[in-house]
Amino acid sequence: MVTKPLAGVRVLDLTNVLAGPYCCYQLALLGAEVIKVERPSGGDLARELGADAARNSAGMGISFLAQNAGKKSVTLDLKAARGKALLRSLARDADVVVENFRPGVMARLDLGPDVLRSENPTLIYCAISGFGQTGPWRDQPAYDQIVQGVSGVMSITGDGDSAPLRVGYPLADTIGGMTAAFAIAAALSAKPRGAVLDISMTEAVISTMGWVVSNLLVGDVQPQARGNENMTSAPSGTFATADKPINIAANRDVQWRTLACHLGRDDLLDNPLYSTREHRKANRYRLKAELEKNLGTRGAAHWVKVLNDVGVPTGPVLSVQDVLATDQMCGRGLIADVTCGTETLKLAGSPVVVNGQRPVPETAPPTLGQDNDEVWGALGLSAADMTALRNEGVI
């Protein structure tokens, strides 16, 4: 059974912080050999980021740990002539190069796709950037929060009082990285192999907003920040109970009727304000208030059980800590224990289960340059060569 579909694929990871490292982490989890190429002075900036100051100082920040397990690390100064030559040599035996520098940086280093693919015509060169390699925005700085703002995501997140609101995790970086991993996996199956992939984080995010974009372009419906309400149906959203909020998705007429009856609110079924889906949508907040009168008599756990039992989709609103502790997450093995020196790290595995097995990282996130001897030695460099390169600051 194939559980590592990318086994035998070599990826050069020239990326930094999140979008690119997350992309390459997904490839590593699926079996690719990922060689992380980092600057000798400090490496990936994420090594210095995270909630633990001591780890940051040691160059193993939690932000780095999150998406770099299972990779190798080498150091290389891409501005040095010998550093450029070494990267070109690595590219000859690589299947994929991934970078997330600003557009034009690799070309100015004389290491752009034309140069590297002249060394290896079957190479897949993937560039991840905020806005893409072309267009009037291409040279603008593009951090996750910038992309969340310009993509329209913030304008529809929150409600009338809180929007525009940032999504509570680096949405754009992560979606951009996953889009790049998907594109690379597709390009690896092409015959003949070889491609230049231009991944815009902004376009990746907009692509995921399909219903919102289509409602605007096709239906001429102006997107709005609707908080926890489902714009397509009602009652569908977040509701208060006696203790904690719950989500109810009574999107079908039969679910709506069952909900009303089970709450003892048959009167609502006869109310013309709620007689059709469109009426319920138009009067959603009045309907929400009526339902919460009854939902407020019992706690969230009660309603989640009894409403699901009668066929009304209902779920709790959990914290990150709570969901990771559930039997569902623990039982499916999303979080793996990875030995890192004298400690055990808990890290997320692949979101994909392959033939009943979840790919998880098999080795710890690498210390900076820990694989220099192996990788550069395989190119024919002697111990003396590597000592000289270290003294010159090339590796």
8 A C-beta contact, residue 87 and residue 75: no
Closest CA to 157 of 168, 143, 172, 170: 168
* DSSP code of residue 351: S
pLDDT tens track for 200-226: 999 999 999 999 999 999 999 999 999
Q: Which CATH number fits domain 236-317: 3.40.50.720, 3.40.50.1820, 3.30.1540.10, 1.10.260.40?
A: 3.30.1540.10
110: its two tokens? 């004389």
Closest CA to 17 of 83, 72, 61: 61
8 A C-beta contact, residue 248 and residue 288: no
Half-sphere exposure for 152 (CA within 13 Å, toward CB):
14
d(Cα 48, Cα 120) in Å, to the nearest integer? Answer: 34
d(Cα 274, Cα 282) in Å, to the nearest integer? Answer: 9
pLDDT tens track for 371-387: 999 999 999 999 999 99
Strand, helix or coil for residue 213: helix
Span 286-315, average pLDDT? 97
Homologous superfamily, domain 10-208+335-392: Crotonobetainyl-coa:carnitine coa-transferase; domain 1 (3.40.50.10540)
107: its two tokens? 């070309």
> Which residue spans within the chain are E strands per DSSP?
10-13, 33-38, 72-75, 96-99, 124-129, 195-200, 236-239, 246-249, 314-316, 335-340, 343-348
43: its two tokens? 């490496």
Residue 393 pLDDT greater than 90, yes or no: yes
165: its two tokens? 């609101």
At residue 79, the pLDDT reads 96
Type of residue found at 221: V
Helix, strand, coil percentages for the chain (3-state, nearest 5): 40, 15, 45
199: its two tokens? 């991944």
The answer to which of 70-74, 158-162, 288-292, 301-305 has the lowest mean pLDDT is 158-162
pLDDT tens track for 241-296: 999 999 999 999 999 999 999 999 999 999 999 999 999 999 999 999 999 999 99
Q: How much is the pTM?
A: 0.93
Domain extents for the chain? 10-208+335-392, 236-317
Residue 8 pLDDT greater than 80, yes or no: yes
8 A C-beta contact, residue 59 and residue 368: yes
CA angle 19, 97, 124 (to 5 degrees): 110
Phi, psi of 242 (to 5 degrees): -65, -25
Residue 158 pLDDT greater than 70, yes or no: yes
Per CATH, 10-208+335-392 and 236-317 having the same topology is answered: no
Closest CA to 136 of 48, 222, 200: 200
Span 87-113, average pLDDT? 97
At residue 1, the pLDDT reads 59
* Nearest-10 crossing angle of helices 210-217, 201-208: 80
8 A C-beta contact, residue 323 and residue 329: yes
At residue 231, the pLDDT reads 87
8 A C-beta contact, residue 291 and residue 283: no
Residue 2 pLDDT greater than 80, yes or no: no
Do the bridges between strand 10-13 and strand 33-38 make them parallel or antiparallel, or are there none, so unpaired? parallel
Residue 325 CB partners (closer than 8 Å, separation 6+):
none
Tokens 């009856």 belong to residue: 261
At residue 3, the pLDDT reads 79
Residue 360 pLDDT greater than 70, yes or no: yes
Q: Which residues are catalytic?
A: 173
pLDDT tens track for 108-147: 999 999 999 999 999 999 999 999 999 999 999 899 999 9
* DSSP code of residue 106: H
d(Cα 294, Cα 173) in Å, to the nearest integer? Answer: 41
Report the sign of the C-alpha dihedral through residues 24, 28, 34, 36, in that order: positive
What DSSP string describes 147-169? Answer: HHHHTTTGGGSS-TTT-S---SS
195: its two tokens? 């491609």
What value does the mean pLDDT of the chain take?
A: 95
pLDDT tens track for 12-26: 999 999 999 999 999
48: its two tokens? 């210095």
Residue 36 pLDDT greater than 90, yes or no: yes
